[in-house]
Amino acid sequence: MINFFKNKKIIEVLKSLEQYKYIILIFVILGFAFYWFEIRPMQIKKSCYKEANKYASDLMKAKNEWRIKYNEQVNTDDENFYSYQEDLDEWYNNCLKKKGF
């Protein structure tokens, strides 16, 4: 079995990498920063939107079922009762706050 560090080619590659260690470190830091400040927030926003959309549609269904079940005459002009967009925005903002935004 050949010892990994006795191979001359590998030693040469490691020495050449030693010269560029600060450049490599900068690329690693920039890659991490790009992930942390660009990709991660985008993924969190996407998951919060999916969660909020599901919640708002479920809530809208529950409101409709409630209205039908109890034969309630609901004022359809009441924006607070049938406001899908408000429910969606509220849940989305709560999700973002919960995840640190």
pLDDT digits (tens, 9 = 90+) for 40-94: 999 999 999 999 999 988 988 888 787 777 766 655 555 555 678 888 999 999 9
51 shares a domain with 13: no
77 shares a domain with 53: yes
Per-residue confidence (pLDDT) for residue 1, from 0 to 100: 44
53 shares a domain with 28: no
Top-confidence range, 8-17, 30-39, 71-80: 30-39
* Domain enclosing residue 93, as ranges: 45-101
pTM listed for this prediction: 0.66
97 shares a domain with 57: yes
The larger pLDDT score, comparing residue 14 to residue 61, is at 61
55 shares a domain with 29: no
How many structural domains are present in the chain?
2
d(CA 47, CA 96): 10
Amino acid at 38: E
Q: Where do we find the tokens 């269904």? A: 61
d(CA 55, CA 78): 20
52 shares a domain with 31: no
**3-state DSSP assignment of residue 67:** helix
Lowest mean per-residue pLDDT among 2-6, 11-15, 31-35, 84-88: 2-6
71 shares a domain with 29: no
- Crossing angle of helices 84-98 and 40-69, in 10° steps, is 140
Per-residue confidence (pLDDT) for residue 19, from 0 to 100: 81
